Chain A
Amino acid sequence: MTRALVAVLALLALAALHLGLAREGPGLADVAAWLAGCVGVGDGVPAVDAFVLGDIRLPRLLVALCGGASLALAGAVMQATFRNPLASPDLVGTSAGAAFGGALTIVTGAAAWSVIATPAGSLLGALATTALVFTLARAHDRFAVTSLLLAGIALNTLVGALTSFAVTFTFDNYTASSRVLFWLMGGLDARTWEHAAITAFGLLLCGALLRPAVRDLDLLTLSDDAAHSLGLDAPRARRRLVWIACGLTAATVSNTGGIAFVGLVVPHLARLLVGPAHDRLLPASAWLGAILLVAADLGCRLAPPDANLRLGVVTAFLGAPYFLWLLARHRRGEAL
């Protein structure tokens, strides 16, 4: 209970920093005055500051919080359902499909129609690719780990190639191709309430679906036969849970672009904190994922503007050393 309280307070503190620390515009004191004004205490802040805080930074913060939590949850679910600590939402083509769908909206000019055109295209790409992987993987009417993996790798490669093709196709159009590349690298700038709403809806819906299935995830880390003997229809549970993980990923990646490593690394860190049982691992992963993405985004925002640091690049910078550490641990004979 105390641990949960500390965790929530830490997240709130980081959220306040995210709102108030910036190279220009309202600062921490303004955040406090604005929040107080929102509940009717004090005079609040000037309208322009209220706009910056409420309509620019707050949606960005919400996308970071919900997106980080979603990607980490998706990672934890995938690692359990694939019985593999190296599994991640990228594995079954969801992220690649999202990237392709999003890139396509930019290349075709559909992105100019509406602020949600890219998220919508990307969501469609993610769901279509995932559905295709699932269809291909259903050999012998079973939903086995190996066939899912093979289908995922094949589709990832194919869809990745299509995305590259879409980018090179627009090379003559410098603006379009650089926008695609920029989007593919992931970032939270210019996120609006529409983006925040899609990400938050994805997290709430999939979180609610995951809640009753936490023990199923524990059983899925055993063999399918062992899970079956304990009363779980493993292929069916796996299909349901992988869909949920894809929903979480699609709802996030469609609003943030590609964000590497969060889904892969965060569940490992969370396991070090609370162990592998999913009733504790899922909340811990969601919390850590939110913390990591908010902190990484804050780092991006505070970096010099001409550094052009992208969120996906920062998370990859954080993720790669962690995996080297994991490798060292593995060489000492410890489990991943």
Chain B
Amino acid sequence: MIGILFTIFAPIIGGFVYGFERIIKARMQSRVGPPLLQPFYDFFKLMDKRALMIHSLHALMGIMYFISEWFAFGVLILGHDLLIAVFFHVIAVLALVIGASSVRSPYSVLGGLRELMHMISYEPLMVLMVIAFYVVTGSFNIENILHFDGYPILQLPLVFIAFVLTIPMLLQKSPFDIAEAHQELIGGPEIEYSGPFYEALYTGKWIEYLYVFTFVFLFAGSHYIVGAFLVIGVFLFINLLDNSTARLDFRRMVKFAWALLIPMAALNVILLAL
């Protein structure tokens, strides 16, 4: 029941998370920051704007990105199998990349291609993480993990660290905000969207926050309070990282993921399975 509510209200909850994040970020930079409801004010403003598009395919892919992201989150929360939820996320990436590639704008196309590099960095690691959960809890089912008596994080410290360092890739945070790269690609895949279509993409991003932090929450098993602290801690850490680091080259990102994070996670799984 809670799962269904969570799924239905995902865009709204995601909006609050995003608003909160903007405040946190501002405070870290000694600014006051926007009000908590700013994302919703933006929503109303963008919906009110004149709808402009490059062509229907491009606009449609923005909307499909939002729907796929929402659906992937639903599969994660309501579904039974974490692995399937990971693969559902690829559908959202597909919509984003197809949309980004469909316009005659180098910023957008380059952003789409870089999005693929993001995927090659985090996708294998997420699969490994799901397997790590299976090794610890004996199930791929989210229900069983949420009722697991121990703390998975104690047995999966390296996987946890690896995943936390992957979150910037998933959420487009510095130092891995390579596809969006506001100063050089001006948003990458987002640049050519405007008005309501941009709002769809924007809301999709809020849901991605929930999608990612649900995985963090799972690291505490059935100890929901610890899970909540984990989520808040990781959230603060990611923002701190975002504020204090400069963007890296995409090659560095791929190398970092493949040379450090994936072996690290694999090592943890091997040690556990032995």
Judge: A and B partners, yes or no.
Answer: no
Binding site for A on B (CB under 8 A): none
